[in-house]
């Protein structure tokens, strides 16, 4: 693909603003609170958009469109079931403890509520996870730039070999993210996330408009796709009759409760944005404000995927990303989605039943190439790159806080000056990004290691919400209970995964390594049930051990546990800005959306 | 915080809007075959310009309120 000067100009303008914001903000960073917590001074709407945007990494934009092409509108469950209820819950019920306890991070809350070992296990696993997530984001971006041959044109002019694309993409993205975080800290990351939010909307809205116009609107799309693709709940009563291969109970409990609450209510990456708000009321509104655009995001990211698969095959103007040429026919592919091609033979890769495997991740890039002429194409590509960078930056800011407060200050150097911790935060930013670069290269060399690590993270994360739920809403829960509950939950997840297998998968990383006693209809179903088992194990073990160990004095738990904390007053803001009211509105709209796309 | 986020957002989208609008006016209409015959550069450029200017005005209004 060849971008023209106007496309490059748009991209350059964006990068200039990204770094410019960092430069302007630099003079406001005076102490560690400014750097790590944005001085707790931002209004709710900014934190809300950053809360949403920090999660809008590569997985979101590329992955949700891919999933839209693969499963259709059922992908919206990841939003309306798998995000909205948890976002409302964290805003209305949990934020008073995070924000009110004056903890500077989620692990620090665990230290205040439970004990050092519970904080330690959470802080260390979280720090490792953020580094790898940011590395995977970086890898995915460099890989995409390589696949689309974005840099071939300019490289040819400069006389540089196209083989350098991957390295240059990694280096440039790492340096830009490093630059603006070093300069402005969390404020800079949050401001850029807000910028990225608007950019993603500006880049994808015309894409959805053109695509829908082309296929004859939502009704036209319905005609060209199987009916399960345009009805989100069709066939959900049985795992074998819907495209996801998941039953409704597994979906609601596994995704809607365990995984979604585990992520939105406990992951410091998003919670950090809310903790940067200027008041308790703004902190509580942050996830609720984020939920409003979150609900309509399926239109922006899932619809393009569905349109890409619905277009006639071969679509006359589709571009083959591997050659940059117009695709006259799309052998083995469907609509704009090409088949995965064996790099040595050039033939489509087939699955076990002889059908070509489709490369769904190319749904968004191909849609951009299909509908956008040069000019707005530059805007679309910039929006795509922005989504990758916001994912990286979010992880890096979460990493430098947890490293500095929860690992360095707690275990390595507890009594240093504030200026020293500010310096440490900047150093942590540098080595956090350096580690991400290493992770990105590891991902490009050893695919299996990445799959394995993501599996381990899933085991560690699944039980977390049980710990927070019991910690915040039951004063009897003890530190020993929380710690051993977490460990049992992780073990429970591993055992469940080891005993089950998705249909058609081989024993190994997909499960069954303890002997498969149960087969799930899909990998997604297995993941949801692994989470349910992990959560239940953690919940039960935490309660049992808490009852056997001595509870902490109630005096020490004021501000940390629901029954011992005064409800924050909602009287100082207009009625429509009160968390409970806003939460009810959000839930109402989410229900309505489910009914519309039933 | 000393920098109102609406100012850089407004500036950036205004610049995007101006670039796309000018390019939309000057470009060869033949390139709009893939966008269903719509000059998306011109239309979306103008839309982004309006958005950018609105953000700038909102940022400036707050700036004045703070000074008072």
A212 and A109 in a common domain: yes
Q: Is residue A420 located within the same domain as residue A547?
A: no
A17 contact B CB<8A:
yes
Within-domain flag for B26: yes
CB contact under 8 A, A373 and B13: no
Residue B62 lies in a domain: yes
Chain B residues near residue A10 by CB distance under 8 angstroms: 16, 19-20
A444-473 pLDDT tens trace = 887 677 677 778 878 888 899 999 999 899
Backbone phi, then psi, for A428, in 5-degree steps? Answer: -60, -35
Residue A122 tokens read as 């959470």
Cβ separation of B16 and A6 shorter than 8 Å?
no
Four-CA torsion A488, A490, A492, A496, nearest 10 degrees: -170
CA distance A576 to A417: 43
Over the stretch A220-240, which tens digit does the pLDDT of each residue have?
A: 888 888 777 877 787 777 777
Structure tokens at B24: 């939309």
Mean pLDDT in chain A? 85
Question: What is the model's pLDDT at position A485?
Answer: 92
In a domain, A22, yes or no: no
Rounded CA-CA distance A259/A272 in Å is 19
B68 secondary structure, DSSP code: -
Question: CB-based contact (8 Å) between A198 and chain B?
Answer: yes
Query: Based on the domain organization, do A467 and A533 belong to the same domain?
Result: yes
Each residue's pLDDT tens digit, A240-261: 777 777 788 888 888 888 888 9
Question: B13: which 2 tokens?
Answer: 């989208």
Confidence of residue A597 (pLDDT cuts 50, 70, 90): confident
Find out whether A444 and A53 touch, Cβ atoms under 8 Å. Answer: no
d(CA A376, CA A10): 9
Closest partner residue to B35 (CB to CB) among A27, A28, A371 is: A371
Residues A427 and A537 in one domain: no
Read off the CATH number of the domain in which A118 is found: 1.20.1730.10
Residue B1 lies in a domain: no
pLDDT in tens, A475-494: 889 989 999 999 999 999 98
Residue A6 forms part of a structural domain: no
Contact B5 A375 (CB under 8 A): no
Candidates A190, A376, A379, A383: best to mutate against B (most CBs of B within 10 A) is A376
Domain-located, residue A505: yes
d(CA A412, CA A446): 33
The whole-number pLDDT of residue A316 equals: 47
The mean per-residue pLDDT over the stretch A523-530 comes to 86
* Top-confidence residue, A341 or A279: A279
- Band of residue A89 on the pLDDT scale cut at 50, 70, 90: very high
- Indicate whether A423 and A310 sit together in one domain: yes
pLDDT at position A29 is 85
Q: Which residue of B has its CA nearest to A382?
A: B16
User: Do residue A49 and residue A81 come from a single domain?
Assistant: yes
Q: Which of B11, B19, B41 sits opposite A9 (nearest CB)?
A: B19
Residue B45, in any domain of the structure: yes
Asked if the model's pLDDT at residue A317 lies above 60, the reply is no
Q: Residues with Cβ < 8 Å from A121, sequence gap 6 or more?
A: A483, A486, A487
Q: ω before A314 within 30° of 0 (cis)?
A: yes
CA distance linking residue A3 with residue A5, whole number of Å: 7
**Does the residue B28 lie in any domain?**
yes
Interchain CB distance below 8 Å, A195 and B38: no
Q: How far is B38 from chain A (nearest CA, A)?
A: 9
Are residues A577 and A559 part of one domain? no
In a domain, A560, yes or no: yes
**Is the Cβ–Cβ distance between A293 and A57 less than 8 Å?**
no
A229-236 contacts: CB < 8 A, separation 24 or more?
A: A229/A71, A229/A72, A229/A73, A229/A74, A229/A306, A230/A72, A230/A73, A230/A306, A230/A597, A231/A73, A231/A597, A231/A598, A232/A73, A232/A74, A232/A76, A232/A77, A232/A80, A232/A594, A232/A597, A232/A598, A233/A74, A233/A594, A233/A598
Residue B60 falls within a domain, yes or no? Answer: yes
The answer, yes or no, to whether residue A327 has pLDDT greater than 60, is: no
Could you tell me the pLDDT band of residue A370, with boundaries at 50, 70 and 90?
A: confident
* Mean pLDDT confidence for A320-325: 54
**Domain count of the fold of chain A:** 2
The answer to whether A459 and A528 have CB atoms below 8 angstroms apart is no
Ranges A22-26, A35-39, A55-59, A538-542: which has the least confidence? A55-59
Inside any domain, residue B24: yes
At residue A319, the pLDDT reads 55
Decide if A354 is inside a domain: no
Contacts of A13 in chain B (CB under 8 A): 12, 15-16, 19
Q: Which of residues 353-382 of A touch B (CB under 8 A)?
A: 370-376, 379
**Is B11 a member of any domain?**
yes
Per the structure, the count of domains in chain B is 1
Q: What is the pLDDT of residue A313?
A: 61
Please report how the helices A165-215 and A217-224 are oriented relative to each other, as an axis angle in degrees rounded to 10: 100
Whether A590 shows a pLDDT value over 60: the answer reads yes
Residue B41 lies in domain = 6-67
Residues of chain B with pLDDT under 50: 68
Distant-in-sequence, close-in-space partners of B36: CB < 8 Å, separation ≥ 6: A210, A213, A214, A371
DSSP assignments along A353-406, one per residue = TSPBPB-GGGHHHHHHHHHPPTTHHHHHHHHHHHHHHHHHHHHHHHHHHIIIII
Residue A378 structure tokens:
């530059």
Least confident of A31-35, A64-68, A511-515: A511-515
Checking if the pLDDT of A46 tops 80, the result is yes
For A182-231, how does the pLDDT look when each residue is reduced to its tens digit (9 = 90+)?
A: 998 888 889 989 999 999 999 999 999 999 888 888 888 888 887 778 77
- Asked whether residue A241 falls in the same domain as residue A140, the answer is yes
Set of chain A residues whose Cβ sits within 8 Å of the Cβ of B2: 27-28
- Going by pLDDT thresholds of 50, 70 and 90, the confidence category of residue A299 is confident
Q: What percent of chain A is predicted at pLDDT more than 90?
A: 25
pLDDT at residue A8, rounded to an integer: 92
Query: Is B12–A17 a contact, with Cβ atoms under 8 angstroms apart?
Result: yes
* Residue A532 lies in domain: 455-565
A384 or A338, greater pLDDT: A384
Shortest CA gap B7–chain A (Å): 10
Would residue A7 count as lying in a domain? Answer: no
């Amino acid at each position: 693909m060849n971008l023209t000067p106007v496309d490059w100009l748009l991209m350059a303008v964006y990068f200039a603003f990204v770094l410019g914001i960092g430069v302007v903000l630099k003079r406001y960073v005076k102490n560690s609170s400014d750097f790590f917590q944005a001085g707790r001074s931002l209004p709710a709407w900014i934190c809300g958009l950053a809360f949403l945007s920090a999660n809008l990494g590569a997985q979101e934009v590329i992955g949700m469109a891919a999933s839209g092409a693969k499963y259709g509108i059922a992908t919206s469950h990841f939003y309306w079931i798998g995000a909205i209820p948890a976002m409302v819950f964290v805003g209305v019920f949990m934020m008073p403890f995070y924000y009110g306890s004056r903890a500077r991070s989620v692990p620090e809350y665990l230290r205040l509520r439970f004990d050092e070992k519970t904080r330690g296990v959470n802080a260390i696993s979280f720090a490792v996870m953020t580094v790898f997530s940011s590395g995977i984001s970086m890898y995915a971006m460099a890989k995409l730039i390589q696949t689309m041959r974005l840099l071939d044109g300019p490289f040819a002019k400069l006389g540089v070999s196209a083989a350098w694309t991957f390295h240059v993409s990694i280096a440039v993205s790492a340096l830009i993210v490093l630059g603006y975080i070093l300069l402005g800290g969390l404020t800079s990351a949050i401001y850029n996330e807000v910028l990225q939010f608007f950019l993603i909307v500006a880049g994808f809205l015309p894409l959805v408009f053109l695509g829908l116009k082309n296929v004859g609107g939502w009704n036209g799309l319905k005609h060209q796709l199987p009916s399960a693709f345009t009805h989100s709940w069709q066939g959900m009563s049985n795992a074998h009759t819907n495209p996801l291969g998941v039953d409704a109970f597994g979906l609601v409990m596994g995704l809607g409760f365990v995984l979604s609450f585990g992520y939105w209510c406990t992951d410091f990456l998003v919670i950090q944005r809310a903790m940067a708000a200027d008041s308790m009321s703004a902190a509580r509104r942050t996830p609720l404000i984020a939920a409003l655009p979150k609900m309509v995001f399926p239109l922006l990211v899932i619809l393009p995927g569905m349109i890409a698969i619905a277009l006639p095959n071969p679509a006359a103007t589709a571009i083959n990303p591997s050659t940059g040429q117009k695709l006259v026919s799309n052998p083995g592919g469907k609509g704009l989605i090409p088949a995965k091609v064996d790099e040595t033979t050039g033939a489509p890769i087939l699955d076990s039943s002889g059908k070509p495997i489709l490369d769904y991740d190319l749904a968004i890039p191909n849609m951009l190439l299909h509908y956008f002429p040069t000019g707005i194409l530059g805007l679309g590509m910039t929006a795509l790159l922005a989504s990758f960078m916001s994912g990286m930056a979010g992880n890096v800011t979460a990493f430098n806080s947890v490293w500095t407060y929860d690992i360095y200050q707690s275990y390595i150097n507890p009594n240093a000056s504030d200026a020293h911790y500010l310096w440490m935060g900047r150093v942590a930013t540098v080595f956090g990004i350096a580690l991400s670069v290493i992770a990105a290269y590891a991902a490009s060399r050893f695919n299996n290691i990445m799959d394995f690590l993501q599996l381990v993270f899933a085991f560690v994360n699944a039980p977390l919400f049980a710990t927070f739920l019991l910690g915040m809403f039951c004063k009897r829960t003890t530190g020993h209970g929380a710690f051993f509950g977490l460990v049992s939950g992780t073990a429970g997840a591993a055992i469940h995964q080891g005993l089950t297998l998705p249909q058609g998968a081989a024993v190994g990383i997909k499960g069954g390594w303890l002997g498969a006693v149960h087969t799930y209809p899909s990998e997604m179903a297995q993941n949801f049930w692994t989470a349910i088992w992990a959560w239940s194990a953690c919940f039960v073990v935490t309660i049992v051990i808490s009852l056997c160990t001595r509870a902490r004095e109630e005096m020490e738990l004021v501000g940390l546990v629901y029954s011992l904390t005064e409800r924050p007053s909602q009287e100082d803001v207009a009625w429509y800005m009160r968390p409970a009211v806003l939460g009810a509105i959000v839930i109402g709209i989410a229900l309505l959306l489910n009914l519309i796309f039933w | 915080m000393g920098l109102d986020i609406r100012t850089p957002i407004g500036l950036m989208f205004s610049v995007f809007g101006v670039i796309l609008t000018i390019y939309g006016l000057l470009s060869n209409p033949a390139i709009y075959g893939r966008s269903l015959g719509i000059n998306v550069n011109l239309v979306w450029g103008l839309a982004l310009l309006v958005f950018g200017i609105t953000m700038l005005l909102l940022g400036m209004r707050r700036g004045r309120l703070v000074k008072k």
